[in-house]
Amino acid sequence: MMGRRNQGQGQLFYEFCLDEAVPDDHLVRQIGAVLNLSWVYAELAPYYSAIGRPSIDPVLMIRMLIIGYVFAIRSERQICREVQVNLAYRWFCILGLEDAIPDHSAFSRARNERFRESDILRRVFERIVETCIESGLVGGEGFAVDASLIEADAYPQRSIPGVEWKKQIDPTAASRRPTRLCNARKRSFVGRERSRDMYCLALSLRRRAPGRLGSEL
């Protein structure tokens, strides 16, 4: 017999355990097992007033920022949205199902005020690196650089091999080669008399659009 879900009256009481909803192999569990931010309260205590309304938990905001860094969430507004609906993120931030999420504007104020004055984010980074060194994950013997290769808008014939480059080269002498190149191209370009600057510009346009420059000029 085919079964069908009962979609009538909603359930009034729920029994739910957030810890059971997060898989054992989830990345937040691995991070949460080694991350200890209990020392943050003592570091930030001088930057909070002893009276007045309680502020947002600074450890909560730091945990939410770590979620953004680890999972490549680019804005605080998006971090708040993801923590609102993601059970694993809520578990990492030690938030229950009914706990409210801080407004995204609180992160900007904290970063520009207390977090900047106390330099707490740098201290968190240093503590994490120290923990990695103690655990043998980081040896301190090398480093990695993340970069993007961008093709330079340069003329290949004006370059020289790296082994031939000398820091003591006279800049005035180095600039003569492009000038002679422009003058040489000037005699065989179209046969019209043009200024040196216009020829250099035309040669640059020819390299970018070789099929159209001859018809336009």
Question: Are residues 40 and 130 both part of a single domain?
Answer: yes
Residue predicted with more confidence, 4 or 213:
4
Query: Residue 193: its pLDDT value, please?
Result: 46
* Rounded alpha-carbon distances, angstroms, from residue 153 to 163, 181, 184, 202, 204: 22, 17, 22, 15, 10
In a 13 Å sphere around the CA of 85, the CA atoms on its Cβ side amount to 4
Q: What is the pLDDT of residues 85-105, one digit of tens each?
A: 999 999 999 998 889 999 999
39 and 94 belong to one structural domain: yes
Name the residue range of residue 176's domain: 156-160+170-216
How far apart, in whole angstroms, are the C-alpha atoms of residue 27 and residue 91?
A: 12
Do 77 and 182 lie in a common domain? no
**Residue 57 shares a structural domain with residue 111:** yes
Same domain, 40 and 118: yes
Nearest to 87 by CA among 62, 67, 58, 69: 67
User: Are 121 and 45 contained in the same domain?
Assistant: yes
Q: How far is CA 148 from CA 130, 145, 152, 159, in A?
A: 29, 10, 12, 22
Does residue 13 lie within any of the structural domains? Answer: no
113 within some domain: yes
What is the total count of domains within the chain?
A: 2
- What's this model's pTM, rounded to 2 decimal places? 0.61
Whether residue 116 is found in the same domain as residue 200: no
Q: Is residue 74 part of a domain?
A: yes
Amino acid of residue 30: Q
* CA pair distance 206, 190, nearest whole angstrom: 12
Give 118-171 pLDDT, tens digit per residue.
Answer: 999 999 999 888 888 887 777 767 777 777 877 766 666 666 666 666 666 665
User: Are residues 27 and 127 both part of a single domain?
Assistant: yes
pLDDT in tens, 15-52: 888 889 999 999 999 899 888 999 999 999 999 988 88
Round to whole Å and give the CA distance between 169 and 166.
Answer: 6
